[in-house]
Amino acid sequence: MEDQIAQESTPIFQRIKDYLTGEIAAGRWKEGEVVPSEQALVRQFGVSRMTVNRAVRELTAEQVLTRRQGSGTFVAPKKYQATLVEIKSIADEIRARGHVHASSLRLLEQSRASEALAHQFELAPGSALFHSVIVHFENAVPIQVEDRWVNPACAPRYLEQDFAAITPNEHLMEAAPLQGATYSIEALAAPREVAEMLAIAPHGSCLVLKRRTTSMGRVASVVTMWHPGALYQYTGSVG
């Protein structure tokens, strides 16, 4: 009943977008394949051409679809936003150094979006979000506290994962293929609970990476990663 009410309250152009992105995510339309014409979508949903055009136009702007003059609308190639910080699993980083990765799950729950989080996810305040807090270790030394919020629409099975066997990043790369990302890096004093998890002095200096990722036109994840300043540095290159 709640799902039906939520669906009825969703604008029709958004339902068309959800349908198209859902079919792509399910693999029924693959990269480079043509999607139904606007006229076909008009007939399928029983709406105006203007409504369908808005949905297709927004997905084109979001680089989910691409239009070719005289040929139709196609599934766009996956695009990754180039940044100085490469998005990859911390477990892979640690193993690449020949060290041992381990993790400790401190929190895994469904919660409600605060106003600030709702703004970041472009959702209504109070919307359901998944929340996890994980401490990552390198050779038994804590090097990262990962505080992550996830959009259930992008990764509906997030709470079912065994995060001792797989990292959130690894799961999200499969469940919600990366479309783009924005991030910031700053030096901050660690709050008491973060300092305890990193085994550093209260208010000790940390390097903090905040990142927001998108997938299929939605904000998929907002994560804050705390690292002890004395043990960690960010590196990158400009091509």
Q: What is the pLDDT of residue 118?
A: 94
Position 80 scores a pLDDT of 36
Q: What is the spatial distance between Cα 45 and Cα 15, in angstroms, rounded to a whole number?
A: 9
pLDDT of the residue at 88:
66
Residues linked to residue 205 through DSSP beta bridges, in sequence order: 189
- pLDDT digits over 144-162, tens only? 999 999 999 999 999 999 9
180: its two tokens: 């783009």
Predicted confidence at residue 11, as pLDDT, reads 86
What's the pLDDT at 79?
46
17-56 per-position pLDDT tens digit: 989 988 887 888 888 889 999 999 999 999 999 999 999 9
Integer Cα distance of 170 and 175 in angstroms: 9
pLDDT under 70: residue ranges of the chain: 1-9, 78-88, 230-239
Residue 21 is predicted with a pLDDT of 87
Q: How does 129-159 read in b/e, with b if 16+ C-beta sit within 10 Å?
A: bbbbbbbbbbeeebbbbbbbbbbebbbeebe
| Residue ranges per structural domain of the chain | 2-75, 90-228
E-strand ranges in 34-179 read 65-68, 72-75, 101-112, 128-138, 141-150
Query: For residues 221 and 154, what is the distance between their CA atoms, to the nearest angstrom?
Result: 9
Whether 177 and 87 have beta carbons less than 8 Å apart is answered as: no
Please, where are the H alpha helices in 127-221? 168-175, 192-198
Give residue 8's pLDDT: 55
Kindly report the CATH number that applies to the domain delimited by 2-75. 1.10.10.10
Question: Looking at residue 31, what is its pLDDT?
Answer: 82
pLDDT, residue 103, reads 94
CB distance 148 to 132 below 8 Å:
yes
Multiple choice CATH, 90-228, 3.40.1410.10, 3.40.50.970, 3.40.50.300, 3.30.70.100: 3.40.1410.10
Predicted pLDDT at 233: 53
The DSSP output letter for 159 is G
